[in-house]
Structure 1
Amino acid sequence: MDSAFERHCSELVARERSGHTAVVEDSLLYVWGGYMSVADDEVFLPNDEIWVYDLERGVWEVFHMTGEVPPSMSGTCGCCLNGHLYIFGGCDDNGQTNQIYCVNLTDGKYTWRKIIHEVGSAPSPRDKLSCWVYNGRLIYFGGYGHKLLTDVDSRNRSFIVDEASWVEDVFWGWNNEVHVFDPMQSSWSEPQTQGRAPAPRAAHASATIGCRGYICGGRVMETRTSDIHCLDFESWTWSEIIPVSTTPVGRSWHTLTAVSDSSMFLFGGLSVDCKPMSDGWLLDVDTKKWREVEHPFKNKPRLWHTACPGKDSDVIVFGGSCDYILLVDTGHCNDALVFQMQPYPLFRICEDYIAKNVKNYEVLRNQLPLLPSKLQTAVQRRMSFYRPSKKQKY
Structure 2
Amino acid sequence: MMEIEQQSDGEGKVGKFYLVEPVQSRHAGYKVPYPRSGHCCVTDDRNLYVFGGYHPEYQRPLEHPNPEIEGNMIIFNEVFQELWCFNFDTRTWCEVETTGEPPRQTASMSMTLAGNVLLFFGGTCFPWGSISNNKIYMLDLREKRWSVLQVTGEKPPKKYGQAIILLQDKLFVYGGCRQISEFEFLFDSDLHMLNLQTQIWSSLSDSKSQTREMIEARGMYRHGLAHYNNRIFIIGSSWTELYAHKLQTKLHAFNTDTLEWELVNIAPSRDDDYPERRVYHSSVQCGNDVYICGGHNNVKIYDDVWKLSLSELRWTRLTAVMPQPAFFHSAAVTSTKCMYIYGGVTCLEDRVRTSDVYKIWLEPHIPSLLELSWKTILSHIPDIYGVPREHLLMLGVPRHLIDRLKPVWPV
TM-score band w.r.t. shorter chain: 0.7 to 0.9
How far the C-alpha of 1:25 sits from its partner, in A, is: 2.2
Deviation per CA, 1:269-315, whole angstroms, max 9, x where unpaired? 112x43211110111223322111122x5331111111112141111
Partner of 1:335: 356
Equivalent-residue separation in structure 1 for 2:279 and 2:76 (angstroms) = 20
Partner of 1:35: 54
Equivalent-residue separation in structure 1 for 2:263 and 2:314 (angstroms) = 14
CA change 1:146–1:339 in 2 (3 A) is same
How far the C-alpha of 1:141 sits from its partner, in A, is: 0.5
Q: Which of 347, 363, 367 in structure 1 is aligned with 2:368?
A: 347
Instruction: Report if the CA contact (8 A) 1:130-1:141 is conserved.
Output: yes
Q: TM-score, normalised by structure 2?
A: 0.74
Equivalent-residue separation in structure 1 for 2:172 and 2:112 (angstroms) = 10
Equivalent-residue separation in structure 2 for 1:192 and 1:142 (angstroms) = 10
How far the C-alpha of 1:143 sits from its partner, in A, is: 0.9
Equivalent-residue separation in structure 2 for 1:356 and 1:379 (angstroms) = 14
Q: Which of 221, 234, 252 in structure 1 is aligned with 2:279?
A: 252
Instruction: Report if the CA contact (8 A) 1:209-1:258 is conserved.
Output: no
Partner of 1:268: 294
The root-mean-square deviation of aligned C-alpha atoms, in Å, is 3.3
Equivalent-residue separation in structure 2 for 1:270 and 1:50 (angstroms) = 27
Equivalent-residue separation in structure 1 for 2:23 and 2:277 (angstroms) = 35
**What are structure 2's unaligned runs of at least 5 residues?**
1-13, 26-30, 59-73, 382-391, 406-411
Partner of 1:9: 23
Q: TM-score, normalised by structure 1?
A: 0.77
Equivalent-residue separation in structure 2 for 1:192 and 1:222 (angstroms) = 20
Matched, 1:25 2:44: yes
**What are structure 1's unaligned runs of at least 5 residues?**
148-165, 360-367, 382-394
CA change 1:219–1:332 in 2 (3 A) is farther
Matched, 1:46 2:80: yes
Equivalent-residue separation in structure 1 for 2:203 and 2:368 (angstroms) = 45
For residues 152-301 of structure 1, the aligned pairs below 5 Å read 166-167=181-182, 171-191=184-204, 199-209=218-228, 212-221=231-240, 223=242, 226=248, 227-245=250-268, 246-260=273-287, 262-271=288-297, 273-295=298-320, 297-301=321-325
Matched, 1:320 2:339: no
Matched, 1:306 2:330: yes
Partner of 1:135: 168
Equivalent-residue separation in structure 2 for 1:111 and 1:192 (angstroms) = 33
User: Which secondary structure state, in structure 2, belongs to the residue aligned with residue 338 of structure 1?
Assistant: strand
Instruction: Report if the CA contact (8 A) 1:315-1:340 is conserved.
Output: yes
1:244 corresponds to which letter in structure 2?
A
Equivalent-residue separation in structure 1 for 2:403 and 2:125 (angstroms) = 43
Partner of 1:69: 102
How far the C-alpha of 1:211 sits from its partner, in A, is: 5.0
User: Which secondary structure state, in structure 1, belongs to the residue aligned with residue 336 of structure 2?
Assistant: helix
How far the C-alpha of 1:254 sits from its partner, in A, is: 0.6
Deviation per CA, 1:21-49, whole angstroms, max 9, x where unpaired? 211125111111110131797533432x3
Matched, 1:104 2:139: yes
User: Which secondary structure state, in structure 2, belongs to the residue aligned with residue 191 of structure 1?
Assistant: strand
How far the C-alpha of 1:234 sits from its partner, in A, is: 4.1
2:222 corresponds to which letter in structure 1?
A
Equivalent-residue separation in structure 2 for 1:332 and 1:92 (angstroms) = 18
User: Which secondary structure state, in structure 2, belongs to the residue aligned with residue 127 of structure 1?
Assistant: coil
How far the C-alpha of 1:93 sits from its partner, in A, is: 3.6
CA change 1:309–1:2 in 2 (3 A) is closer
Instruction: Report if the CA contact (8 A) 2:136-2:149 is conserved.
Output: yes
Instruction: Report if the CA contact (8 A) 1:146-1:171 is conserved.
Output: yes
Equivalent-residue separation in structure 1 for 2:237 and 2:393 (angstroms) = 52
CA change 1:218–1:62 in 2 (3 A) is same
CA change 1:351–1:294 in 2 (3 A) is farther
Instruction: Report if the CA contact (8 A) 2:39-2:51 is conserved.
Output: yes
1:206 corresponds to which letter in structure 2?
L
Deviation per CA, 1:144-186, whole angstroms, max 9, x where unpaired? 1134xxxxxxxxxxxxxxxxxx44xx85211111011223322
Of 280-289 and 208-217, the range deviating more from structure 2: 208-217
1:316 corresponds to which letter in structure 2?
Y
CA change 1:42–1:21 in 2 (3 A) is farther
Structure with higher strand content: 1
Instruction: Report if the CA contact (8 A) 2:32-2:93 is conserved.
Output: yes
Instruction: Report if the CA contact (8 A) 1:137-1:182 is conserved.
Output: yes
How far the C-alpha of 1:65 sits from its partner, in A, is: 2.6
Matched, 1:57 2:78: no
